[in-house]
Structure 1
Amino acid sequence: MDSDTVSVERVIRAEPEEIFALLADAGRHESFDGSGTVQGTSAPSRPLELGSVFGMSMKMGLPYSTKNTVIELEPGRRIAWQTKGFGGVVGGRIWRYELEPQPEGSTLVRETWDLSQDKQAFLLKRSSMPATTEKNMRRTLDRLAEAVEA
């Protein structure tokens, strides 16, 4: 991995606002997560706003939790949150979704895994994580499409 980001994209047959509503509800992330690591939120579901902080229960072998802060938000167009764990000692990666309207009510959805601010970026970039994350992000976009195209 040469750059700090991995991105995948897919056209989904739904309006950007419908897709954004799902992305901006942390309580629903488990329903479309393609990695199988998201186990749910630590608080009731609510729409996210710029600066919102939400906890996520995770499991990758062993259970753990993350603290996520919404750092970018343009309703119907973009949302990104930065993830940290273990009291901020690890993490800093950014998960970003960008939505671009397409003809006939479709949307180009781009998901990006951004390590530019991650404390473990050096190690992560040299591991199997970028390839695994790319595969999981493709599954996430497939599941997101299933959720909104039905």
Structure 2
Amino acid sequence: MRYRDQPTAEVTRRLSCTPEAAWAVVTDIELPLAHSPELRKVQWIEGDGVAVGNIFRGDNETSGLGGWSTDCVVSDVEPGRRWTWAVRGRGGVMATWGFEVDPTSDGGSIVRQWGRMGPDPSGLSIFIAQHPDKESRIIEGRLQQWREGMEANLDEVARRTA
């Protein structure tokens, strides 16, 4: 697995809530605060909701890396169905994330969260450059962290819409 191939993690959950209820939760940028081991604060810095071009900032911290902030630009919105955001770094887009909500035939929802690395360098690129022989393992470890966070986010969506 190579960073340059823009690896992706995705988690999908079938929920009993309506798509409208799920949408209301997945468009709350504070959703990940409930369970993220590194996200400490999130706020809108341009605009005040999920609309193309609006920007929010996430403040993060880990014991190994200290603190850092990223600005995220809402890049695509299909109201009630899908929204994506690009995480910007010094060199460009470090990652792209998204939520998708689809209706089920019984009035419930299928909710997906996904994240794709790259195409531009991120903090992970520093570790890969230091240990190029471990690139695949470094990436898989980070994707696993992402999947765990996504599972926690979808657990929170289920809890808030129960």
Please give the TM-score of this superposition, normalised by the length of structure 1.
Answer: 0.80
Q: Within the alignment, does 1:137 sit opposite 2:140 as a pair?
A: no
What is the DSSP-based 3-state SS (H/G/I as helix, E as strand, rest coil) of the residue aligned with 2:106?
Answer: helix
Q: Which one of 41, 57, 60 corresponds to residue 58 of structure 1?
A: 60
What amino acid is the match of 1:56?
G
Paired residues in the alignment total 145
2 CA distance for matches of 1:125 and 1:49? 35
1:35–1:137 Cα contact (<8 Å) kept: no
1:90-130 deviation per Cα after TM superposition (whole angstroms, max 9, x unaligned) = 76201111111013321111111111424247647541111
Query: 5+ unaligned residues in a row in structure 2: which ranges?
Result: 129-134
Question: SS of the residue aligned with 1:145?
Answer: helix
* 1:49 corresponding residue in structure 2: 51
Alignment partner of 2:95 out of 93, 108, 129: 93
Q: Which runs of 5+ in 1 are unaligned?
A: none
Q: How far did residue 77 of structure 1 move?
A: 0.5
- Deviating more after overlay: 16-25 vs 104-113: 16-25
- Where does residue 84 of structure 1 map in the other structure? 88
Q: Percent identity?
A: 23
Structure showing greater radius of gyration is 2
Partner residue of 1:22 out of 22, 25, 30:
25
- Could you give the per-residue CA deviations for residues 65-99 of structure 1, whole angstroms, max 9, x where no partner exists? 110001111011101111124xx247620111111
1:46–1:13: structure 2 CA closer, same or farther, 3 Å change rule? Answer: farther
Q: For the aligned residues, what is the CA RMSD?
A: 2.6
2:82 aligned partner, one-letter code: R
TM-superposed CA distance for 1:40, in Å, is: 2.0
Alpha-carbon distance change, 126 to 72 in structure 1, aligned in 2, over 3 angstroms: farther
Partners of 2:50 and 2:83 within 8 A in 1: no
